């Protein structure tokens, strides 16, 4: 699950009439702990199981280089992108 999907999930739990206040408080939060408290205040916090599932999926994400390898490697023979691939 990407970052947008997580945000959408959390926002879906906040009643429409409280979303502006929720977003304002979330933006004002300075630390991770403060953001967690804001989500709890609005009953939008992720459960422990949801957080574990999201973390396990994030750990399985592929890097750009791994995606290139899975797709057959870089196919940029006409450019000079030696900083991004091994096609020299």
Q: Read off the DSSP letter of residue 46.
A: P
Q: Please report, rounded to a whole number, the percentage of residues in the chain having pLDDT higher than 90.
A: 34
Average pLDDT, rounded, for the chain: 75
Two tokens, residue 69: 């390898």
Q: Assign 20 to helix, strand or coil.
A: helix
Please give the model's pTM, rounded to 2 decimal places.
0.58
Residue 47 CA: distances (Å) to CA of 4, 27, 66, 78, 81: 18, 21, 31, 49, 43
* pLDDT tens-digit readout, 40-58: 999 998 888 887 887 777 6
The confidence score (pLDDT) of residue 64 equals 61
∠ CA 14-41-12, nearest 5°, is 15
Find all residues with CB under 8 Å of 16, minimum gap 6, and list them: none
Domain boundaries, the chain: 3-70
Position 2 pLDDT exceeds 80? no
The confidence score (pLDDT) of residue 28 equals 94
């Amino acid at each position: 699950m990407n970052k947008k999907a997580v945000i959408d999930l959390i926002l879906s739990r906040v009643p429409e009439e409280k979303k502006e206040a929720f977003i304002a408080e979330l933006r004002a939060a300075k630390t991770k702990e403060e953001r967690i408290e804001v989500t709890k205040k609005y009953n939008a916090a992720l459960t422990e199981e949801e957080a574990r599932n999201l973390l396990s999926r994030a750990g399985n994400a592929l890097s750009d280089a791994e995606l290139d390898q899975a797709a057959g490697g870089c196919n940029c023979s006409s450019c000079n992108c030696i900083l991004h691939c091994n096609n020299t």
